[in-house]
C-alpha cells in the first residue's frame, strides 16, 4: 500500500447532512499537491464518526446545515480523537451563528469539552502564517453576498488543548467557497483554497 503523508477524511454522522460540498476535498487535495511536498492520497476518505478508524486520521472534516445530535459512540470517538491529539475542521454550511447547525453542534462541543472551551482565536494565531500569510480568516463570497446571518465573521473559533488547536470551527462556510472543480482555479486572481493549505499544514504540526 502506498504511504501518504496526508489523506482527507470526511466524517459522516447519523444526524444532519454531512454530504455537502462534494467537489471541495479534491480541490483542496490538488492545492496540497500544487503548493507543498506532501505525499497526498488523491481520494477523499469517508469514515463514520462512530468508527474507531477515524481515530487514525491525520485530519478530519465535519460539516452540514442541519441539526447535529451525536450518538454516544460518535461523541465518544470525537472526544477521544481531539483529546488524543487529532485535528477536526468543522464548517457551518449555513454561515449563521444562530442557525440550526451552529447551535446544535456548539451544544455538542459544550457537552464534551465544557461550556467555555470554544474560544475566538486571535488573527495573529500561527494558523494564519504557518504557510501562506493571512491577516485573519479570509472572507467568503457567501458572507459578502449577505446570506445566512448577513455578517462577515472576522474571526474563527477553536478548542485548544495543550496550546494547540484541536477543533477549528468556522461559521464562514469555506466548504461552499472551495466547492468547484480544481481546474477552474486558473480563472481566479488569487487561489482561495490557499487557506485550506494553512489549515492542513497546521493540523500536521507545522
Per-residue pLDDT of the chain (206 residues; tens, 9 = 90+): 468 999 999 999 999 889 889 999 999 999 999 999 999 999 999 999 999 999 999 999 999 989 999 999 999 999 999 999 999 999 998 887 888 999 999 999 999 999 999 999 999 999 999 999 999 999 988 777 766 677 888 899 999 999 999 999 999 999 999 998 777 877 777 889 999 999 999 999 96
Find residue 40's DSSP bridge partners. Answer: 6
Q: Which residue has the cell 455578517?
A: 151
Q: What is the pTM of this model?
A: 0.94
Tell me how far apart the 2 most distant CA atoms of the chain are, in Å: 47
d(CA 111, CA 162): 20
Residues in contact with 51: Cβ distance below 8 Å, sequence separation at least 6, in sequence order? 77
Amino acid at each position: 500500500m502506498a504511504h501518504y503523508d496526508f489523506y482527507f477524511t470526511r466524517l459522516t454522522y447519523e444526524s444532519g447532512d454531512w454530504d455537502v460540498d462534494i467537489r471541495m476535498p479534491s480541490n483542496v487535495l490538488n492545492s496540497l499537491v500544487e503548493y507543498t511536498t506532501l505525499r497526498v492520497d488523491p481520494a477523499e476518505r469517508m469514515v463514520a464518526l462512530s468508527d474507531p478508524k477515524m481515530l487514525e486520521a491525520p485530519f478530519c472534516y465535519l460539516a452540514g446545515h442541519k441539526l447535529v445530535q451525536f450518538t454516544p459512540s460518535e461523541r465518544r470517538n470525537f472526544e477521544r480523537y481531539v483529546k488524543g491529539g487529532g485535528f477536526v475542521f468543522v464548517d457551518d454550511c449555513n454561515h449563521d451563528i444562530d442557525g440550526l447547525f451552529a447551535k446544535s453542534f456548539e451544544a455538542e462541543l459544550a457537552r464534551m469539552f465544557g461550556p467555555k472551551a470554544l474560544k475566538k482565536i486571535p488573527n495573529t494565531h500561527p494558523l494564519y502564517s504557518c504557510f501562506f500569510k493571512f491577516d485573519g480568516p479570509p472572507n467568503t463570497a457567501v458572507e459578502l453576498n449577505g446570506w445566512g446571518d448577513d455578517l462577515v465573521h472576522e474571526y474563527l473559533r477553536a478548542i485548544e488543548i495543550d496550546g494547540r488547536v484541536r477543533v477549528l470551527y468556522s461559521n464562514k462556510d469555506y466548504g461552499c467557497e472551495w466547492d468547484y472543480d480544481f481546474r477552474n482555479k486558473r480563472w481566479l486572481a488569487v487561489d482561495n483554497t490557499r487557506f485550506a493549505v494553512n489549515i492542513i499544514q497546521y493540523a500536521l504540526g507545522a
